[in-house]
Amino acid sequence: MHPIASMAIKRLGLGLLTLLVVSIIIFSAVEMLPGDLAQEILGQAATPETVAAFRKELGLDKPPVERYFDWLGGAVQGDFGKSLASKREISDLMSTRLGNTLFLACFAAAISVPVSIILGLLAALYRNTWFDRLINVLTLSSISFPEFFVAYILILMLSVGYPFDLSWVLAIIGIWFIMEGWGSFRAGRKIGRVFPVIPAIVLIVGAALLANLVTGYWHPQMQGVTSYPSISNIAPGAPFGERVERSFLPALTLTLVVTAYMMRMTRAAIINLLASPYVEMARLKGMSPWRVIVTHALPNALAPIINVVAISLAFLVTGVVVVEVVFVYPGVGQLMVDSVTKRDVTVVQACCLIFAATYILLNLLADILAIATNPRLLHPK
Amino acid sequence: MSDDILLKMRGVKIDGKTGDDWLPIIKGIDLDLRRGEVLGLIGESGAGKSTMGLAAMGYVRGGCRISGGSIEFDDLDLAKASESKRRSLRGKRIAYVAQSAAASFNPAHRLIDQYSEAPVQHSVMKKDEAETDATDLYRRLQLPNPDEIGFRYPHQVSGGQLQRAMTAMAMSCRPDLIIFDEPTTALDVTTQIEVLAAIRSAVEQFGTAAIYITHDLAVVAQMADRIMVLKHGVLVEEADTRTMLSAPTQDYTKSLWAVRSFKASAKPAPAADAVPVVSLRNVDASYGPVPVLHGVSFDIHKGRTVAVVGESGSGKSTAARVITGLLPPTAGDVLFNGEALPPSFKRRSKDQLRQAQMIYQMADTALNPKQRISEIIGRPVEFYLGLKGRARDERVRELLNLIEMEPDVFGHRFPGELSGGQKQRIGIARALAADPEFIICDEVTSALDQLVAEGILRLLDRLQTELGLAYMFITHDLATVRAIADEVVVMQHGKVVEQGPKTEMFRPPHHPYTDLLLSSVPEMDPDWLTNLLEERERSGIKVESADA
């Protein structure tokens, strides 16, 4: 058998084993939660007898081990049981929600993965120039704010019709541009050594933006650009276009949060290879800097990039909880938060298990892809 | 003559950045190269040979700059030309062949795609034309399966073949000038011959001018029409190859020529009933399912040096791993002073471990860069001999004196602050710290310049006489064998093909493989390669090596 196929099967087995361990941890963790569902539903006034009877009805009186295996047996067949709170089948509840969450994750990935890899390549190409630093500062600032903050800022700027005078923001950007441009001049740094005019342009743009504050020539105002809804309530069966429009803000928030990781890892992985003899060889063959990076460094840097992309994608599926809550997006994350407040144990377990499975699956995929992009393993001697 | 000049470098100065300062690497060198001429650049490491070779392409490595002089290639000054102008020449009219083909081929692409990259990107040929051309060149350079080899990835091709494929790649645009930067240094002697022959025929067929950089005088004697000797970025001497070899005028050049003269003092043969310090008895070993050693037996006596020679992959280092217990043998025994050692180092006692020590090829990677010299040597002193505090410090000082390094000067330094030769001395001191009877020297001089290497050999020889050490000396360099060995073991494909005292080994008749090895060592005679190739063709000897 091809070594990659046998390796994939081995990894898949290990992944399933990990999932089993995770299911035990989830079950025991939920088991240890304080409070009791029957008590929660019946309220303070219930007598101990009614609580006990209700527990029996819900099956909570059986020993934990037995309940674990019942649950696991069902989960393997896609049956997560019934929601304790709403009495609905969890699989019904989950299917549309999971679809929505995956849609949002794919949407965010479709923007963030290409953008961050291209930005990473550009940052590696123009390393240590103002362009590199600008990208680093922007992505790092967007990752440094909590997701809900980014979400609210986006709502403020792109959704709520708040007359927001951007002149001051532009002026601050202008000052920063001037400092960068002047610094580039002083250091004799030119973008890629190709365009000596770049520091000059940076300086002029900065000066223009600063002058704008004084003259008041240009007052861009956020005059209620209400095209993007701040509440992403998607009805089941909504057409694709409407889905895209309604999930645009949450997707943009997620993109801002994950781009920095992928972009910085791409940049670092590429720069790490730039000192290798084969990259020097490519330069000595007269190849252009962009070609050196894209055809000579990138194929050898794929393994770490694939890994960070996979982890980011996993985050897009499982880390959406806060974003979904902010935008009232009907996904798995929101379902999970709701269920926790309602002590709806079975739903929480199902959500956790699905998140864990996503994580394991994506990491597995990343491992296999990373190995498959290595010609030493793909084409053995 | 002026029309004839292809490359004219005048007063070239190149600086390298160290911290915040620019220190000169090349201190104003003139160089002229006529069309079709092969110029040899020789010198020790740090002499600026590679920097000079790259400068001929208008290229400097990161952290370096051209600070003066002119580099006129066909009337274009590369030192002042724009980067895009220089880029349009590189690969097309000036090509480069690097030292390690294995590292310089991109592991992610097939050989033929890397071959056709330069012609296609420089719009010299279309992709399919370039591929046909590649096959043709592979055939001319006598690569096996020329129609098929280009479609392999670099890791699927052996080192010698890769080096020839890289020469072919450099030829792809039929450049006017090729820079060969130590193209055979990383190869075995038998493979080296094939690559040298391939390079020479390629250069002759296309009338290409070449700059051939090497530290091996015998090699440069075969390749170059004219030789320049560099030292610390300054030109020492320049002359035609024959003049340079027969009548060098400068002392430095003479000292380079004289390096190979060191010979260790001869030692009396061991008594017939003497128990060898280390003895291998019919040892088989394998890496997983791949068998590497087949019935290897040899003895090493007290106070004597056994040189184990052979090409890479012949099992020399594996034999050392078996002795140290890193690789337990699948069959056979390792005896130490007549007693069988446990196969794995995990089951050996501390005293058994202490008796056998190792010195490694790359002192750079074998020393912990974050530890001071006194710690590096002090650690085995404490571990094996149980010395602590002042006793330990005393012992470390003694050891440093023994390897001729001043304890007060070097004790508190880090390995990064030492030269290559000094690091190797520290490696020796660390082995001595355990007070062993037996030391394995694994290619200890092959990463060093000849003058430095000679110093290490002298030191090892002196230590052997003073301390009665037994050495197992793994090497592929027969000059080193001549210098230091008492006995020689020749290995090929995991078997011992011949063994005996050095004096007998260098006298015919030989085993055919020993003969091949011995005849493949380049000699200072400029006609050596030509004569050898003719002779081999006449007698029909097929070069059998790991490549075949």
Evaluate whether residue B530 is within a structural domain: no
Residues B115-127: tens digit of each pLDDT:
999 999 998 899 9
Set of chain A residues whose Cβ sits within 8 Å of the Cβ of B121? 285-287, 291
C-alpha span between B341 and B343 (Å, rounded)? 6
Same domain, B447 and B315: yes
Is residue B444 within 8 Å of B360, Cβ to Cβ? yes
**Three-point CA angle A365, A368, A370, nearest 5°:** 105
Q: Do A381 and B155 touch (CB under 8 A)?
A: yes
Same domain, B450 and B339: yes
Q: Do B155 and A375 touch (CB under 8 A)?
A: yes
Strands (E), B188-337: 209-214, 226-231, 234-240, 278-287, 290-300, 305-309, 331-336
Set of chain A residues whose Cβ sits within 8 Å of the Cβ of B87? 286-288
Q: Do B122 and A379 touch (CB under 8 A)?
A: no
Instruction: Using DSSP, state whether B168 is helix, strand or coil.
Output: helix
CA neighbours closer than 13 Å in the CB half-sphere of residue B388: 1
Q: What is the pLDDT of residue B364?
A: 80
Mutate to test the interface with B, among A193, A284, A371 (most CBs of B within 10 A): A284
Question: Chain A residue with minimal CA distance to B89?
Answer: A286
Same domain, B311 and B204: no
Question: How distant, in Å, are the alpha carbons of B65, B81, B158, B201 from that of A193?
Answer: 15, 13, 39, 40
Evaluate whether residue B528 is within a structural domain: no
Same domain, B224 and B314: no
Q: Is A277 on the interface with B (CB under 8 A)?
A: yes
Strand partners, B278: B300, B336
Same domain, B253 and B291: no
Distance from CA of B167 to the nearest CA of A (A): 12
Question: Chain A residue with minimal CA distance to B115?
Answer: A285
Evaluate whether residue B10 is within a structural domain: no
Evaluate whether residue B302 is within a structural domain: yes
Q: Which residue has the tokens 């393997």?
A: A76
Q: Is A128 on the interface with B (CB under 8 A)?
A: no
Provide the residue-wise pLDDT of chain A in tens; the chain has 381 residues: 677 788 888 888 998 999 999 999 988 887 777 766 677 777 777 788 888 887 787 777 788 888 888 888 888 887 777 777 777 888 888 888 888 888 899 999 999 999 999 999 999 988 888 788 888 888 888 888 888 888 887 777 766 655 556 666 777 777 777 777 777 666 655 444 444 566 677 777 778 877 777 776 666 555 544 556 667 777 777 778 888 878 888 888 889 888 888 999 999 999 989 888 999 999 999 999 999 999 999 999 998 899 999 988 888 887 788 888 888 888 888 888 888 888 788 888 888 888 888 889 888 888 888 888 888 877 776
Evaluate whether residue B471 is within a structural domain: yes
Mutate to test the interface with B, among A285, A296, A378 (most CBs of B within 10 A): A285
Q: Do B98 and A280 touch (CB under 8 A)?
A: yes
> Which CATH number is B317's domain given?
3.40.50.300
Distance from CA of A75 to the nearest CA of B (A): 42
Q: Do A284 and B95 touch (CB under 8 A)?
A: yes
Q: What is the pLDDT of residue A31?
A: 78
Q: Is A123 left (phi over 0), alpha (psi -120 to 50) or beta?
A: alpha
Same domain, B516 and B375: yes
Q: Compute mean pLDDT per 10 residues along chain B, 548 residues long, and list them.
A: 78 85 88 91 84 91 87 89 89 91 90 93 91 91 88 87 90 92 82 87 89 88 91 90 86 74 74 85 88 91 90 86 91 90 89 91 86 92 90 92 88 85 91 92 83 87 90 86 88 89 79 83 83 81 45
Same domain, B51 and B162: yes
Set of chain B residues whose Cβ sits within 8 Å of the Cβ of A296? 106, 108
Question: Using CB atoms, which residue from A194, A284, A286 is nearest to B122?
Answer: A286
Q: Are strands B290-300 and B278-287 parallel, antiparallel or unpaired?
A: antiparallel
Token representation of residue B309: 């020679």
DSSP secondary structure of A222-259: ----TTS-SS--PPTT--HHHHHHHTHHHHHHHHHHHH
- Distance between first and last Cα of chain B: 45
Instruction: Using DSSP, state whether B182 is helix, strand or coil.
Output: coil
Set of chain A residues whose Cβ sits within 8 Å of the Cβ of B106? 278, 281-282, 296, 299-300
Distance from CA of A277 to the nearest CA of B (A): 5
C-alpha span between B513 and B532 (Å, rounded)? 16
Q: What are phi and psi of A22, to 5 degrees?
A: -60, -40
- Determine the residue type at B460: L
Same domain, B109 and B149: yes
Neighbour-count burial of A177, counting CB atoms closer than 10 A to its CB (0-12 exposed, 13-18 middle, 19+ buried):
buried
Distance from CA of B382 to the nearest CA of A (A): 39
Same domain, B201 and B309: no
Same domain, B184 and B323: no
What percentage of chain B's residues is helix, strand, coil (to nearest 5)?
A: 40, 25, 35
Evaluate whether residue B419 is within a structural domain: yes
Evaluate whether residue B82 is within a structural domain: no
Distance from CA of A263 to the nearest CA of B (A): 22
Same domain, B319 and B391: yes
Domain membership of residue B491 as a residue range: 278-523
Same domain, B421 and B496: yes
Set of chain B residues whose Cβ sits within 8 Å of the Cβ of A306? none
Q: What are phi and psi of B308, to 5 degrees?
A: -105, 115
The helix (H) or strand (E) run that includes residue B11 is: strand B5-18
Is residue B306 within 8 Å of B486, Cβ to Cβ? yes
Token representation of residue B29: 């060198």
Enumerate residues 6+ apart whose C-beta is below 8 A from A311.
A261, A362, A363, A366
Evaluate whether residue B42 is within a structural domain: yes
Strands (E), B394-519: 438-442, 470-475, 487-492, 495-501
Q: What's the number of domains chain B is made of?
A: 2
